[in-house]
Structures are given as structure tokens and as C-alpha cells.
Amino acid sequence: MKFYQTTTEYSCGIDLHTRQMYMCVMDQRGKKLIHTNIRGNDFAYFLEQVKPYRGDLTVVCECTFNWPWLADACADAEIEFVLGHALYLRAIHGGKNKNDRIDSEKLAHLLRSNLIPPAYVYPRERRPVRNLLRRRTSFVWKRAALLSHLSSQVHVVNEEPIGQCQHRVRERWYEKMRPLFDDALMKTAVEADMYMVKEFDKVIDRLERAVHKYTKANRCRDYNLLKTIPGIGPILALTILYETDDINRFASVGNYSSYCRLVKGSVASAGKVTGTRGVKMGNAYLRWAFGHAAVICKRDNPQIKAYAKRLENSHPKQVANAILANKLARSVYFMLKRGKGFDPEVFAKKCA
């Protein structure tokens, strides 16, 4: 766990909510200078309160869903901002009582004591494209649920299942399914699912075009580098690209693998390792992307397939896929660092 090293005289802890934020400003000795609630998240009032300390102030807030506006407002006001890692903070500060006033004070104490585990403040200019890609993923999952429900309805009427098609020719699948349902109400329900799937197809296509257009104009080199890896197509490449953002923010390849949820932490006491922890610490989207890439790449490339076979001979299949996913993540780290494409022969040689 890494900690933010503050360089300012004054520390401000903010317990942020949707309609209010509780703030606590203290100096390096721990003396509380301001401790108040701000209704309506009025940032102009906040600036007025911290005016005497604004030139030498750092603000910290826990990583909640609505942190971006506060980070952007602090950046515009030229105030240092730190985003606290919510999962790590939960392990650091605790107590019998918990409320907004106590939380803001604890955040300020942790900041002045250099005990804030920082989370990554995703750059403002690239945040919308990452959010757009995440919305696309959410819609794909919802569409998959509808398609699964449609497929299950065939079994309800005791008919043979019909294989699904890609969405560009999905109408053929619908035409084969419609005659299987005689009941008018059931047919209406099936048509409703079909309609919603069509609408999701349109929305997902529109989002993909928008993300590709942005990528072509801004991140074309890195995007094309990622697509040189067998098994990584456009969507996986975009996910890895925008969830990783700047590869230089990771000091080592191990840090990147950990962020991708591809390595576990250990629990040790008295020199003995007693277990593992931290399986869900990191980026879930990157874990998903590299997990899928590991399954597809061994199908597409004979050299990687041979390496995957050796792994499966000595490990359970799930563990073997995780190892391969970790190797791919390490390759991506060095590819983005050096600006070089994927070389299957080098990959297979290093994994031998």
C-alpha cells in the first residue's frame, strides 16, 4: 500500500455526499481551523471558508461515485486534490462512532500524517470516453440477459433450440423463432424482448462508433499496438486502453498486474504465509478484458496454444487461464512502455 506525501501546511478532509459535504481543515500540528457542513455542495462557499489557507492547502475526499466534480473544481481553483482509495481507507480508519463530522476529521488527520492511500484521478479530458465505453459494456450485459431469456422461451414450449446469430443478421433468428409460439400473450412477450434487443443493437453501435472516432483522433498508436496481440479485438483493445490510461503511472510491471486483479496479496505472520487477500482490489474491467483475451488468444495462435497446453497439464484450467492472462497483461505493459507491437515468438520464448 502506498501513501500520499503531503507538502502543504494545511489539510482539508471532505466527507462528500450528493447534496452536502462536511469539511475539516487543520494544520500540520492537528489543530482544527474549520469544521463545518456545506449544504448543497456550494463550492463558492467552500472557497470563501478556506480563503485564508487556500495558498497552502491540500483537499482529500474518499473515492465515491460523484468525486469528479470536486476534483475538477479544485483543479480550476488551483487547489491540490487527493482522491482517497475507498477500500484501503476502510481498513485504516474505524471506530465505535461514525458520522460525517468524524469522517471528515479523520480524513484530515490521515492526510496531514501522510496516511492517505491515493486512488487515480482520471484526467478530465479522457473521462467521458471511458465512461462511454463502460456504458456500452453495461448495455451489452443487458442485451445478453434479454437474448438468454429469448433462448429459454424456446424450451418453455418444448421446441428444439435455435442457434443465435450476430446482430447484423439476427432477424433470421427471429423469423425462425416466431412460428414456435402459438399463444398470443406469449408471442407478445417474445416480440417485446426482440424489440428491446434491436434497440440495444442500435445504441451499442452508436456508442462504438463514437469511441472509435475519438480513439482514431487521439490514441491511434496505442490502440493499434494492442490489436497486434492475438485474441484482442477492437472492444478488448479499447477497454484495456482506456482503463489503463497512462501506462507511466505504474512504477513497475508488478504494479500493473496487481491493478488488473491478476495477482493476489498475501497474509503473513511470524514469518509464515497464512493466506491470500485482495482478490477484488483493482480494476474489474481490466480483469475481465485480460481474462477473455487469454481464452481467445490460445485459440488464435499456435505458439500461445502450446504454452497454454503446458499450463493446463500442471494447473487446473481456471488457474492456467489466470496465469496466461497475467502474462498478457505484462506484455501489454512493456508494449505500451516501449511502443512496440506484440511478438508471439518472444512471448512464447519468455514463457517457456
Query: What is the rounded distance in angstroms from the CA atom of residue 13 to the CA atom of residue 82?
Result: 10
Query: Residue 351: is its pLDDT beyond 80?
Result: no
Let me know if domain 10-112 sits in CATH 3.50.50.60: no
| Share in percent of the chain as helix, strand, coil (round to 5) | 60, 15, 25
pTM check: above 0.85:
yes
Kindly report the backbone phi and psi dihedral angles of residue 301, in degrees, each rounded to the nearest multiple of 5, phi listed first: -125, 125
Cβ–Cβ < 8 Å for 26, 33: yes
Tell me the per-residue pLDDT of 1-18, one tens digit each, with 9 for 90 and over: 789 999 999 999 999 999
Query: Residue 267: is its pLDDT beyond 90?
Result: no
| pLDDT confidence band for 89 (50 / 70 / 90) | confident
The position carrying cell 503446458 is: 310
> What was the pLDDT predicted at 165?
62
Using the 8-state DSSP alphabet, how is residue 4 labeled?
Answer: B
Angle at 58 between CA 55 and CA 61, to 5 degrees: 145
Helix axis angle for 184-218 and 234-244, nearest 10°, is 60
Tell me the per-residue pLDDT of 19-44, one tens digit each, with 9 for 90 and over: 999 999 999 999 999 999 999 999 99
> What was the pLDDT predicted at 176?
84
Tell me the per-residue pLDDT of 289-325, one tens digit each, with 9 for 90 and over: 999 999 999 888 888 888 889 999 999 999 999 999 9
Nearest Cα to Cα of residue 59 among 41, 80, 28: 80
Coil/strand/helix, residue 289: helix
Range list of β-strands (E), 186-327: 265-269, 272-277
The mean pLDDT value for 51-65 works out to: 95
Tell me the per-residue pLDDT of 207-257, one tens digit each, with 9 for 90 and over: 999 999 999 999 999 999 999 999 899 999 999 999 999 999 999 999 999
Please return the burial class of 308, using the count of CB atoms within 10 Å of its CB with bins 0-12, 13-18 and 19+.
Answer: buried
Q: Where are the domains of the chain?
A: 10-112, 127-218, 225-351
In sequence order, which residues have a C-beta less than 8 Å from that of residue 144 and are 6 or more positions away? Answer: none
| pLDDT confidence band for 167 (50 / 70 / 90) | low
Query: Residue 93: is its pLDDT beyond 70?
Result: no
> What was the pLDDT predicted at 266?
76
The mean pLDDT value for 257-264 works out to: 91
pLDDT greater at residue 249 or residue 174: 249
Angle at 63 between CA 336 and CA 104, to 5 degrees: 145
Query: What is the rounded distance in angstroms from the CA atom of residue 139 to the CA atom of residue 40?
Result: 32
Query: Residue 175: is its pLDDT beyond 90?
Result: no
> What was the pLDDT predicted at 269?
78
Query: What is the rounded distance in angstroms from the CA atom of residue 55 to the CA atom of residue 52?
Result: 8
> What was the pLDDT predicted at 35?
97
Angle at 162 between CA 157 and CA 163, to 5 degrees: 150
Q: How many Cβ atoms are within 10 Å of 281's Cβ, its own excluded? A: 15
Cβ–Cβ < 8 Å for 337, 226: no
Query: Residue 162: is its pLDDT beyond 80?
Result: no
Query: Residue 180: is its pLDDT beyond 90?
Result: no
In sequence order, which residues have a C-beta less than 8 Å from that of residue 34 and are 6 or more positions away? Answer: 12, 23, 24, 25, 49, 50
